[in-house]
């Protein structure tokens, strides 16, 4: 890997990218990004959310460090909701990332 010099002199996300690469850790963990897993279009697991903002049978809106994750579909049911994890099922039609609140 090319030497990036003093880590403290690197700004923004580039610093996190360098740290992630040097420590050989997944970037999602270091940067606090939501980690998501899909089971087809029927199940969704999200890790590292900061709260449930909206929930109905057609929408699930989660707060994440960078803004929001919005899941649109039909027949949603939250199977499991924990402090930082959520598992939902239903027919997922779209997933939108609104990171306009990024820090």
Which residues make Cβ contacts (< 8 Å) with residue 1, sequence separation at least 6?
21, 22
Q: What is the pLDDT of residues 3-24, one digit of tens each?
A: 444 444 445 567 666 766 776 6
Quote the pTM value. 0.71
Q: Indicate the number of domains in the chain.
A: 2
From 43, 51, 44, select the one nearest 82 (Cα to Cα).
51
Range of the domain at 27: 1-31
Q: What is the pLDDT of residues 34-86, one digit of tens each?
A: 889 999 999 999 998 999 999 999 999 999 988 999 999 999 999 999 999 99
Are both 62 and 72 inside the same structural domain?
yes
Three-state DSSP at 89 gives strand
Are both 80 and 61 inside the same structural domain?
yes
Are both 17 and 56 inside the same structural domain?
no
Instruction: Pull the structure tokens for residue 98.
Output: 């609104």
């Amino acid at each position: 890997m090319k030497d990036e010099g003093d880590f403290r002199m690197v700004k923004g996300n580039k610093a996190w990218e360098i740290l992630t690469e040097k420590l050989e850790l997944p970037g999602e963990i270091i940067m606090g990004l939501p980690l998501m897993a899909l089971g087809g279009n029927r199940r969704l697991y999200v890790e590292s959310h900061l709260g449930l903002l909206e929930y109905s049978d057609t929408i699930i809106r989660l707060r994440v460090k960078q803004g929001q994750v919005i899941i649109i579909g039909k027949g949603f049911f939250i199977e499991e909701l924990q402090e930082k994890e959520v598992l939902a099922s239903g027919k997922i039609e779209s997933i939108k990332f609104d990171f306009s609140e990024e820090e």
